[in-house]
Amino acid sequence: MTTTIRIGIIGAGMAGQAHAFGYRNASMARDLGDIDVQLHTIADPNLELAQSVAHRYGFANAVADIEAFLANPEIDAVSVALPNHLHAEVLPKVIASGKHLFAEKPIGRTREEAGRLADLAEACTAVTGVGFSFRRLPGLAALAQAVQNGAVGKVHTVRAWYNADYAVDPSGALSWRYSQEQSGGGALLDIGAHAIDAAQFVVGPVSRVLNSTLRTVITERPKPAAGAIGHGGATTEERGPVTNDDVALLTVEFDGGAVGQITLSRIASGVPNSLGVEAFGSNGHAVFDSISAGEFHLFESGVASAAFNGPRRIFTGPEHPYFNDVAAMPGAGVGTGYAEAFVAEIQEFLRCVRDGSPMDTNFKTAVSMMSVVGAALEAAESNTPVDVDSRQHA
């Protein structure tokens, strides 16, 4: 029997377009052959943008009225990809509509805001998931499996990072991303959400933020012109202050006793987009860097003679998670990248909608990440360690 799922997306910016790409290609997975994915509507207050995205990605309709969109009974499942400060307003309305919901991270600007949304999601019967897309990269998913299966022994030291250069130009527009009130955090949350989640995905929950240093390097920027979109949007002559961090350095402790460093920068000149995790254990180490997404490295002590033993460079292939469902030619070494991660997360969302099962990246996952962000903000302000455990529920 075929299950028809009619898709709508709220938000036609970069993240919304990535979701649209995921839905357009979701049927690549053989086990989703019984799902008829119908690309129904793109909703965005900027109607011209919504129409452009709908045309490019094959959606039948574009609207500017989000209230009318949510009232449309023809839409079964909704992706929400809006600026952070709009999630607290829009997500409760989607949940109340009874439609299945896939939200871009973060679901709130604070732990408390995220917790309230998680409570609403838990009380509804629809599927509610959150897009921690890097988890769906075959290399990172395979590395997490290896670590969790004991390939490197007991983990004692962790290093995670997210370096990007989208904010390196001081003439870039002062968008909502540079406002602490609107965003909830600079590099710490905008890209740190992914690095913190990736570290917890591989090693387990962070229990304590031992130290947190936040720095704003570019302290003011030109205000955006009306209707400006994205990092390269048009600007005006008027300038305003940047009120959140360009760089964040965290020292953390994990539930299992490991210690780690999480480094985040949105002004990393020459590094366009690199998320990585490195875990050292009693029997080896493992490394993944998204800039080389089609591979990961693993060292297991004692698997060969000392003269020839060392880290192995492993190319992702059909034996690794998600690979067969997203690779255009599913053979080892052909490589996958960040685009395929969006396909894989949408595929998982659609499976859960079809089966009526919860997503592994749900609103509780988002609260866990936001709890670390909240502890890091408090530790930076107080210059003292802050426990994360007590922050798991609003």
Confidence of residue 390 (pLDDT cuts 50, 70, 90): very low
The answer, yes or no, to whether residue 303 has pLDDT greater than 90, is no
Res 277: pLDDT: 98
Residues 199, 161: Cα–Cα separation, whole Å: 9
- The least confident of 40-44, 220-224, 228-232, 343-347 is 228-232
Confidence of residue 393 (pLDDT cuts 50, 70, 90): very low
Contact criterion met (CB below 8 Å) for 8 and 40? yes
Average pLDDT rounded to a whole number, residues 87-100: 97
Res 230: pLDDT: 67
The 10s digit of each residue's pLDDT in 181-205 is 999 999 999 999 999 999 999 999 9
3-state secondary structure of 49: helix
Contact criterion met (CB below 8 Å) for 123 and 363? no
Residue that is written with structure tokens 């592994």 in the block: 360
Q: Which domains does the chain have, with CATH numbers?
A: 3-134 (3.40.50.720), 136-330+370-379 (3.30.360.10)
Res 305: pLDDT: 76
Res 335: pLDDT: 81
Whole-Å CA distances, 199 to 161, 196, 254:
9, 5, 10
The 10s digit of each residue's pLDDT in 140-167 is 999 999 999 999 999 999 999 999 999 9
Q: What's the mean pLDDT when you consider all of the chain?
A: 95
Contact criterion met (CB below 8 Å) for 106 and 87? yes
Residues 219, 216: Cα–Cα separation, whole Å: 6
Q: What is the pTM of this model?
A: 0.95
The 10s digit of each residue's pLDDT in 268-300 is 999 999 999 999 999 999 999 999 999 999 999
Alpha helices in 37-172 (DSSP H): 47-57, 66-71, 84-97, 111-123, 138-148
The answer, yes or no, to whether residue 371 has pLDDT greater than 90, is yes
Residues 342, 134: Cα–Cα separation, whole Å: 8
Confidence of residue 239 (pLDDT cuts 50, 70, 90): very high
Res 227: pLDDT: 66
Residues 289, 314: Cα–Cα separation, whole Å: 12
The answer, yes or no, to whether residue 389 has pLDDT greater than 90, is no
